[in-house]
Structure 1
């Protein structure tokens, strides 16, 4: 019999707090994962780390009316329950901020069986990063294994620290925005578990 268990985690205090650096939080989260089964850790100590979060954009005017623009962002997604990371990246040519929190992008990689998926969206104006991930836990030994499926979502705010370089040559101009790499922790706001 399939059971559906909705764990509503009221973590508003954690979600509203400033993002934590990976160096501060990741070792203790990994120790918790290693001490518990995958499904136990998924229920009790799940958190994500967006590692090396990076935004970059480039805008070129060949004439005042002819603009070519693109923006990209990338990070490694670490789920503290799982022993692998996923690669998340996105590209946009929606002027002028490029990312408006209205489009979901997929993360790549994960487990060899492809049972783990993740999607994200980002709003550059507010810094809001939304994340959804699904994964499977196989608990037990080789003689008796139980599969549990999990889905979780969470949100955090990313404060970008960027530099802007501009160059002009007559009517031709370029603007390049590059933001420093940073690591942020994302707490889940909702977890679904299926057995």
Structure 2
């Protein structure tokens, strides 16, 4: 299995499973906004056996929340070899998902990176304002929900 794992580590491929982007824009008053965007997905590599990382992030950077400038770490299973790591960057305006992974197989370390352009199908509730708003009530809410996306990604560098 180590030989197969080394070969796969040299030619990695990932599956991004159920990539979910959603956002909530909440104004507690006309002047106070508390808004967040969220990304969640699983990333499975082609090692033998495959490793699945759980990737998630939250951002309050208005107004698209994710601009491809912050790297987020994914959580690997407890039995992943020490030194292994997976991370990602996401840009909501462009749909670009960048992935980087470090795999440790025995005494060898492999690093790979690649990207995919995700086409998200999203619904936007539009801004719903509370009629006759009073202090202590939520002033307005807007929700963006995108359908989950699953794609295969081949790294551009190993």
TM-score (norm 2): 0.86
Which of 53, 57, 64 does residue 30 from structure 2 map onto? 64
Report the secondary structure of 1:37's partner residue.
Answer: helix
Which of 12, 17, 24 does residue 51 from structure 1 map onto? 17
Q: Is the 8 A contact 2:76 2:86 kept in 1?
A: no
Q: What residue is the counterpart of 1:162 in the other structure?
A: 122
Q: Is the 8 A contact 1:129 1:156 kept in 2?
A: yes
Structure-2 separation of matches of 1:114 and 1:52? 27
What are the residue-to-residue correspondences of 1:167-182 with 2, within 5 Å? Answer: 167-170=128-131, 172-182=139-149
- Alignment: residue pair count: 148
5+ long unaligned stretches in structure 2 = 134-138
Structure-2 separation of matches of 1:128 and 1:116? 23
Deviation at 1:163, TM superposition (A): 1.1
Structure 1: which 4+ aligned runs deviate by more than 6 Å? none
Which of 60, 75, 80 does residue 46 from structure 2 map onto? 80
Q: CA, structure 1 residues 188+111, in 2 after alignment: closer, same or farther (shift >3 Å)?
A: farther
Report the secondary structure of 1:109's partner residue.
Answer: coil
Q: What residue is the counterpart of 2:102 in the other structure?
A: 134
Report the secondary structure of 1:124's partner residue.
Answer: coil
Per-residue CA deviations over 1:52-104 (Å, capped at 9, x if unaligned) read 10001000123322111001101001111252201000000001000011100
Report the secondary structure of 2:69's partner residue.
Answer: coil
More helix by share: 1
Structure-2 separation of matches of 1:67 and 1:110? 36
**1:153 aligned to 2:113?**
yes
Deviation at 1:110, TM superposition (A): 2.9
Structure-2 separation of matches of 1:50 and 1:111? 20
Structure-2 separation of matches of 1:111 and 1:80? 18
RMSD of the TM alignment (CA)? Answer: 1.7
5+ long unaligned stretches in structure 1 = 1-33, 139-146
Deviation at 1:168, TM superposition (A): 2.0
Report the secondary structure of 1:188's partner residue.
Answer: coil
